Chains A and B, each alone.
Chain A
Amino acid sequence: MSSPTADRTLDEILNLAASHFKVPREKLTADDDFFKTLGIDSLQALDLLTRIEQHFRIELPDYELQGVSDFRTLANRIQARL
């Protein structure tokens, strides 16, 4: 089975974030700061990380996310683990 493309990975993250944090999908874009757009704090960010790991069936050490706050970079980090 081939890995999903980077675009598809990004799209799945945006869908997951919109669904979990109850934000209209159309309001989320790749370069958004997800802390601001989703209005989440550090604990909720960990919750998002857990859901992303389960969705993509990967392990994503949180030190790889230090300083990451936009969906596109997050998608790149995930893509590297698929």
Chain B
Amino acid sequence: MIEIKNLSIDLDDFFLRNINLTIGDREYFVILGPTGAGKTVLIECIAGLHRIRQGKIWIDGNNATHLAPEERSIGYVPQDYVLFPFLNVADNIAFGLRQAKYPKTDIEEKVKTLVNLMGVSHLLHRDTRSLSGGEKQRVALARALALSPKVLLLDEPLSSLDLQTSKYLRLELRRIHKELGISTLHITHNQVEAEEVADRIGILNMGKLEQVGKPREVFFYPESKIVADFTGAPNILDCDYCRTVGRGLTEVSCGGLRVVLPHDGGRVERIALFPRDIYISAAQPPGPQVNRFKGTITNIKSSGATVRLGVEVGENTLQAEMPHDIFEDMDLTVGKEVFLILKLRRIRVFEGKDSR
């Protein structure tokens, strides 16, 4: 368990302001934030790599605020893994065990268990510089776990991997976490990664912890514009009516907007849809009029390659996004009537605060 109370720190380029956070036993906690938010500084503070003058940190019930890194019982996997290039895979994993003067047979046994857990037993005698990104990540994880630390700190563990490996390793991280039951703090700037692995998420921005909650809570109930923007500024609609229409579909009503969505569970409390998943058409689209609405453009905002439009539909104003060149071709102006088409499969559903 990690407890952080009123932690503030000022470094040259980064800072943290009054961080209060508790990460429970066996919890997988993800700090999500943009580049420069102070995520790495936070993890380094917990690892004991910065002198703390304001605030306190407890690790597993012990006040670790002023303890040296070697006294904290933490497993730390820095970004890019930082494997020792002068040692092979087995010696990297055994480094901490040798440092703690474990008997040779125990070291061999423990290394064997760890490489089996990480699925890298075939790499034992390899030079670490010849490993792929995914292999390096596993070896770094094995090295960090060798001393059975009380908490595991992962600094952007998947950011330097290709998408496929990253997706696979997300599952692996969850599996290893489940198997070992160790409190884990994982930092990332990738919202999808955070949602997939986290028990709870904390959004960090400009050194400040903006919101802490379960991934779907943070997504559907952003407490500030900063949090909403960071999660992709989705359109979030409260549902006042909900009925199952069969074949895995549910119809909901959100402020007069009747939306059909793929859902076959409990009552839908909120729905969300990213602006990029709403199409705009100047003419009425043909076919069944499901999830198609007529509205009036209330504002137009250009940002880079895309244009964002606010469209008033009944009681709601939906944000839609389209590429700049298409916007130019359509000759859209404020006050013009348009038709909105919601992408059925992209609508996200929130059943209630107890659901994950």
Say whether A associates with B. no
B binding-site residues for A, Cβ under 8 Å = none
